[in-house]
Structure 1
Amino acid sequence: MAYRILRRPWRAKKPLYWGMVPELAGIIPLLVLFGVQQPDAFRTLFWRIGFENKLNSNPNMILYAYANHQPLPTIPFVWSQTLTSYNVAISIVALFILLAKMIATIMQVFYPLFGTIVGLCMTALFTVSVYGQAGPDYADSRYPSPVAWYIRYGCGIAEPYNAGKSCMMAKGTFAVTVYMLSVFVAQSAFAIWAMLPNKELDMMEDSDDDDDYHGPKDKGVAVEMQPTPPNPQVPFTPRTQAFHALERKLPFRHS
C-alpha cells in the first residue's frame, strides 16, 4: 500500500459533481455585476459621497498633489481602477476554471491534487476581492475608514445623490463575492480531505494498478493450449477420380 499524490480517487463523487452547481450560480451574477461596474460606474461617485459625509478620503487628492507639486498619494485600493479591473478578470478566470473542471471531471482526470490547487488559488483571488471591496481607506488621517461606508452604513446616505440603486448593487456585489469565497473555501476543504491518507482508498488504488499491469497468469487464471482438430478430408479413391472425369465430359443439359 503506497500513498498516491496524483492519481488519488475522490472519497465521494456526489459532492464533487453537485459542488459545481452553486459555483455556477455565483459566477454568472458576478460576471454581470462586475461587468456593469467597468470602468467607473459609481466608484468615484461613492468616493465623493463618503468624503462629503466625512467617511473617507478626498477623491480630489490627486488634483491637489498636482496643483501643489507634491508627490502623488497612493489611491486606496477600494477606490482604484485596479480593483475594478481585477474583479472583472477574476470573474472571467472563475468561469474558465469551472468549464475546465467540468471537462476534466467528465474525462476522469480531475484528481484531488488538482482540486486542492485550484481551490486554494481561487480562494486567494476572491479573498483579495473581498478585502478590496470592503477595504480600508486611511489616505486622509482626518477621516479614517476601516471599512467602506456603503458596507458599514445603509444606502440612505446615497439617496440624496440619486445613487440608492447603485449602492444596493454594490452591496449585492459584495455579498455575492463573499458567497463565492465561501464556495471555494468549501471546495478546498473537500479536496484537502480527499488528499488525506486513507487505507481503503490506497488499497483500492493498488488493486487497480495490479489489474492494469499484470496479465491473466498473475490473476490465477490458467490458460491451456487446446489442440487444433484436424480438418476432415474426403477420402480419395480411383472411382472418385473417374466420376469427376466423366462429369466434366457430359454436355450441359437445358431444362
Structure 2
Amino acid sequence: MKAAKAPKFFLSRRWKPNKWPFYVLIGIELPLTVALLALFGIASPDTYRTRLWQDGADNGFNSSPTTGLYAAANYRPYTTPRVWSQFITDYNVAIVVLSLFIMLVKSIMYMLHVFPPILSVVIHIGLTIIYAVSVDYQASNDTTDPDHPQHGAPWYITKKCSVAHDKNNVHYCTQAKAAFACTCAMLGIFVTYLGFALYSCVPTRQQREEYAEKQRLKAERWAKFETYQDEETGETNTSRFPVPETPGIQTLNPMTPRTMAFNTLGGTKDLPLRTHFSSPNPTSTSPPLAIRSPDIPRSPMSPGFIGRIGADKSNGKAPEIEHFSPQNGATPQLYFPPPPKTSKK
C-alpha cells in the first residue's frame, strides 16, 4: 500500500513549539495593560495635556494653546495638532480597555484549547493596528506655529523632564513619557504575538502526514457509500445517496419493539381500533365488547326488571328481587312502592 501523499498546504490548529511562550507573553502583557490603564486613566480627560503644551510653548519647543484663538480671530483655518488633541486622550483610554478585555478572553480560550493560531492572527493584527495608531499620534509633530515648529515627537519624549519651564510639570512629563514607553512595549508584545501565531499556522511535516492520512481514510469511507456493484450484471454503479451497510442477514426487516408486541398479540396490521372507528364495515376479527354483569340489578324503570317483595314478614327477611329475561315470554310488570303512612298524634 502506498503512503498517503501530504497536501500542499493547510492551516495548523496547534501551537508550537509548546504552550509556554504564550503564557510568557500573557505574563508580560498583563502588567503593561494595568500600567497603561492607570496612566491613561489619570491623563483623561485633560489632566496634563494642555499643561505640557503650554510648557513647551514657554520653552519655544512647539506652538501655544492660544494659537487656535488667534487663528479664529483672524479668520484663518486651524487644526489642533494630533499630539495635543482631545481625540488621542480618549482613544488611548478606549484601546487599553479593549485590550484588557481581549487579554482575559484569549487567555481563557487558550487554556480551554479553543484558541487556534489563525484566530490569534486575526485578533493581533487588529490590536497591532490600533496601538500603532496610538504611537503615531503620541509621537506626531506640531508645525502650526511657523516661528516654533516641532518636527518629530514632542519635547517630553525627546528631552529630559528637567528642562520643563514650570517645575510642577516635571511629574506630568514623567507620566506622559511612561505612557508612551508602555504603549510602544505593548505594540512590541502584539507584534510578537502575531509572529508566534503565524509561525504556528504553518504545519510541520508530521502534521501534514497525519492530515493526509485522515483525508485518505475519509475518502475511502465515503467511496463505499457512493459506489456499489450490481450482482446480476456485475457493473459498478454510483448511488445518488449513500446507503449504509446493515450487518447480518440483509433479507430480514428490522424488528422494532412495537412490531414484536403486535405480532405477539396477534395483530399484524396497524392499530386495530383505527379501522374499527374509521370504516362502517370493520374488518377486525376481535370479539365485540358485549360482556354483561347479570348480578347487578337495574333500575325499576328499565325493561326486564321485576321486583318482588316477599310476604313472609315473620322471619324478617329483606324483600327479594328476581330477574326475568324477556326471552321466557313473561310480561314485565312495574312495581310502585306504597305511599308512606302518616303518623298519628
TM-score interval w.r.t. the shorter chain? 0.7 to 0.9
List aligned pairs for 1:156-235, cutoff 5 A: 156-158=162-164, 160-206=166-212
5+ residue gaps, structure 2: 1-5, 222-246, 249-345
Q: Is the 8 A contact 2:61 2:149 kept in 1?
A: yes
Could you list the per-position Cα deviations for residues 37-73 of structure 1 after superposition, in whole angstroms to 9, with x for gaps in the alignment? 00001001111111111111121122112222332x1
Q: Distance in 2 between matches of 1:114 and 1:133?
A: 29
Aligned length: 216
Q: Distance in 2 between matches of 1:213 and 1:99?
A: 40
Higher percent of residues as helix: 1
Instruction: Tell me the secondary structure at the aligned position of residue 121 of structure 2.
Output: helix
Q: Distance in 2 between matches of 1:102 and 1:39?
A: 31
**Match of 1:147, as an amino acid?**
A
Q: Distance in 2 between matches of 1:107 and 1:163?
A: 47
Q: Distance in 2 between matches of 1:203 and 1:65?
A: 69
Could you list the per-position Cα deviations for residues 138-183 of structure 1 after superposition, in whole angstroms to 9, with x for gaps in the alignment? 1122222121000111111226341111111111111111111111
Identify which of 74, 99, 102 aligns with 2:107.
102
5+ residue gaps, structure 1: 216-223, 226-255
Q: Is the 8 A contact 2:55 2:165 kept in 1?
A: no
Q: Which residue of 2 aligns with 1:125?
A: 130
Distance of aligned partners of 1:70 and 1:204 in 2 relative to their CA distance in 1, 3 Å threshold: same
Q: Is the 8 A contact 1:47 1:58 kept in 2?
A: yes
1:40 equivalent to 2:40? Answer no
1:26 equivalent to 2:27? Answer no
Instruction: Tell me the secondary structure at the aligned position of residue 19 of structure 1.
Output: helix
Q: 4+ residue stretches of structure 1 with deviation over 3 A?
A: 204-215
Look at both structures and tell me which one has the larger radius of gyration over its CA atoms. Answer: 2
Distance of aligned partners of 1:109 and 1:4 in 2 relative to their CA distance in 1, 3 Å threshold: farther
Which one is further off, 60-69 or 187-196?
A: 60-69
**Match of 2:163, as an amino acid?**
I
Distance of aligned partners of 1:201 and 1:44 in 2 relative to their CA distance in 1, 3 Å threshold: same
Q: Distance in 1 between matches of 2:49 and 2:39?
A: 13
Q: Distance in 1 between matches of 2:212 and 2:43?
A: 52
For residue 10 of structure 1, report the CA deviation from its aligned partner.
Answer: 1.4
After superposition, the CA RMSD in angstroms is 2.5
Q: Which residue of 2 aligns with 1:76?
A: 81
Identity in percent: 36
Q: Distance in 2 between matches of 1:108 and 1:188?
A: 18
**Match of 2:26, as an amino acid?**
M
Distance of aligned partners of 1:9 and 1:137 in 2 relative to their CA distance in 1, 3 Å threshold: same
Distance of aligned partners of 1:191 and 1:67 in 2 relative to their CA distance in 1, 3 Å threshold: same
Q: Is the 8 A contact 1:8 1:205 kept in 2?
A: no
TM-score, normalising length: structure 1: 0.77
Q: Distance in 1 between matches of 2:157 and 2:56?
A: 12
**Match of 1:187, as an amino acid?**
Y
For residue 199 of structure 1, report the CA deviation from its aligned partner.
Answer: 1.9
For residue 86 of structure 1, report the CA deviation from its aligned partner.
Answer: 0.6
1:17 equivalent to 2:23? Answer yes
TM-score, normalising length: structure 2: 0.58
Structure with more relative contact order (C-alpha pairs < 8 Å, separation 6 or more): 1
Q: Is the 8 A contact 1:9 1:201 kept in 2?
A: no
